[in-house]
Amino acid sequence: SIIPGGQPENRATYIGKGVMTRFSVPEMKGFVAYDDYVLHYDRRTRNAHWVFEHLTRERVKASEEAKRDKSEFHEEPKVHPFFRSTNSDYKGSGYDRGHLAAAGNHRWSQQAMNQTFSLANISPQVGKGFNRDAWNTLEMFTRKLTKDFPDLYVVTGPLYLPRREDDGKVYIKYEVIGKNQIAVPTHYFKVIVMAGKSGGLELMSFVMPNQVLPANVDLRNYLVPLNTIERASGLVFFDSIPREMFTRVNAKEQIS
């Protein structure tokens, strides 16, 4: 029988072999692992919660083999069809299909690059002035850091930030596009842990609004305290690293 007895479950039976297992209570399933990066998908917004990459100088190098124009944007089969974003959702929306794990970070193999074209790794981004410009500048800056630091650990994701309106109240408001109602994030974040040759660690954390930004954008203007991103995203970053282990945090000198 699938009907449990009438006695109150306790904590242990809820978690153990009790009703939880029997009725498969809804869970926030969304973890997807690729060859060269991992992400957690937010089934409600149809955007990733976060995308995690480990970058090194060798890995971001272009290989003979990998060609960007061989990669195709594709639906993510690991995401339930109810929550999957599709190419047609973006069509006519006015937004680019923006990479969270940048294609240019995964050029050591065609397959690794192809996997960044999963729509689970894609978010609606303003094209000119953002995806193709200011945000791309941040991605190139990130890759350049691999010349000075043997290992980078990078978390990238969307934000939906509140604004006070004329009625004095504070609202979160964002567009949704397409039949599958893909959320258009108001901002994006990128958190970078840089591991130096001597074992020292540095941290840099950026937030950029998803809008047309000035040409020759100055990345220093987009450095924000890590806990601002944490509070807004609902995430805690790198919490196994005690904060005092970072020799520098958001050091503007890294940005020339």
Active site members: 99
Residues in the chain: 256
Binding a copy of itself (rule: CB under 8 A), the pick from 223, 224, 235, 255 is: 235
Residues numbered 163-192 forming contacts with a copy of itself, rule: CB under 8 A: 169-177, 181, 183
**Residue placing its CB nearer to Mg ion in the complex, 185 or 201:** 185
Q: Which residues contact 237 (CB under 8 A, 6 or more apart)?
A: 155, 191, 205, 226, 229, 230
**Which 3 state secondary structure label does DSSP give 149?**
coil
Stretch that binds a copy of itself, among 3-11, 64-72, 133-141, 202-210 (CB under 8 A): 3-11
Q: How far is the CB of 214 from a copy of itself (least distance, A)?
A: 25
d(CA 205, CA 175): 25
User: What is the torsional sign of CA 138, 142, 148, 153?
Assistant: positive
Residue 246 near which of Mg ion, a copy of itself, none (CB within 5-8 Å, type-dependent): none
Residue 61, interface with a copy of itself (CB under 8 A)?
Answer: no
**CA proximity to 145, closest of 193, 215, 210:** 193
Binding a copy of itself (rule: CB under 8 A), the pick from 221, 241, 243, 252 is: 241
**Residue placing its CB nearer to Mg ion in the complex, 17 or 128:** 128
Residues numbered 115-154 forming contacts with Mg ion, rule: CB under 5 A: 131
Residues numbered 67-106 forming contacts with Mg ion, rule: CB under 5 A: 98-99
Binding mask 213-232 for a copy of itself (x = CB under 8 A): --------------x--xxx
- Please, which residues bridge with residue 33 across strands? 38
Q: Do the beta carbons of residue 170 and residue 162 sit within 8 Å?
A: yes
**CA proximity to 138, closest of 111, 90, 105, 176:** 105
